[in-house]
Amino acid sequence: MASTSNPDTHESPQKSVYKDPDDGRQRFLLELEFVQCLANPTYIHYLAQNRYFEDEAFIGYLKYLQYWKRPEYIKFIMYPHCLFFLELLQNPTFRNAMAHPANKEVAHRQQFYFWKNYRNNRLKHILPRPLPEPATAPSSAPPASLPSSVAPPAAPPPAPTPVTAAALSPMQYAIPPGSGLAKTDPRNASVDRRKRNRKDG
């Protein structure tokens, strides 16, 4: 009896491809959380102390995670320092150095100083500058001695005013000085309330 090959019964060898039940959402969130943990120098120090950086598979994972620098992924990052540290972790010298507590403290201190001064440095460039003072109006009649084709010389630009104080914080722009609006400070109100209660009681 001759057997006929039926395509329905003959199974072709196919690789079984893993399919995430949630379409990769869980993996995305785990990798996002891990990448953002790299913004903490203490966590990097912990990884170095526990010899994670000696594992070639872990080093490969850090290289793989660099896809977070692409624009379609970077928008999910809340702590941008993690990308800076991810780049530094590609260097074996930095990985070895982070095993020492003094280097962890240096990295943490530098990160703190960046956060401390970043806002003030940006405010110097984005706050509105005072408007130049209006120039006095020239006389209404032009001098008769000048020919009509030659324009009178332009007034020199006003001298820059020296900056006497540091850049004001944005909160100082909220209420203009001398306005009739009263500042409400809840701390002062509660102190007065306590004083009243003591007098009444």
> What's the Cα-to-Cα distance from 110 to each of 56, 79, 90, 105, rounded to whole Å?
29, 15, 19, 8
What is the pLDDT, as a whole number, of residue 78? 92
Provide the sign of the torsion angle of the four alpha carbons 96, 100, 104, 105, taken in this order.
Answer: negative
* Two structure tokens written together for 105: 């403290």
What is the pLDDT, as a whole number, of residue 87? 93
- CB burial readout 68-90, b (16+ within 10 A) else e: beeeeeeeebeeebbbebbebbe
Question: Which residues of the chain have a pLDDT value below 70?
Answer: 1-14, 18, 119, 122-131, 135-201
Positions of E strands within the chain: none
The Cα 121–Cα 128 span in angstroms is 14
What is the pLDDT, as a whole number, of residue 128? 67
Which residues, other chains included, contact 98 with Cβ-Cβ below 8 Å and sequence gap of 6+? Answer: 41, 44, 45, 47, 48, 53, 104, 107
What is the pLDDT, as a whole number, of residue 19? 75
Q: Which residue type, as a one-letter code, is found at position 159?
A: A
pLDDT tens-digit map of 3-59: 555 545 555 556 777 677 777 888 899 999 999 999 999 999 999 999 999 999 999
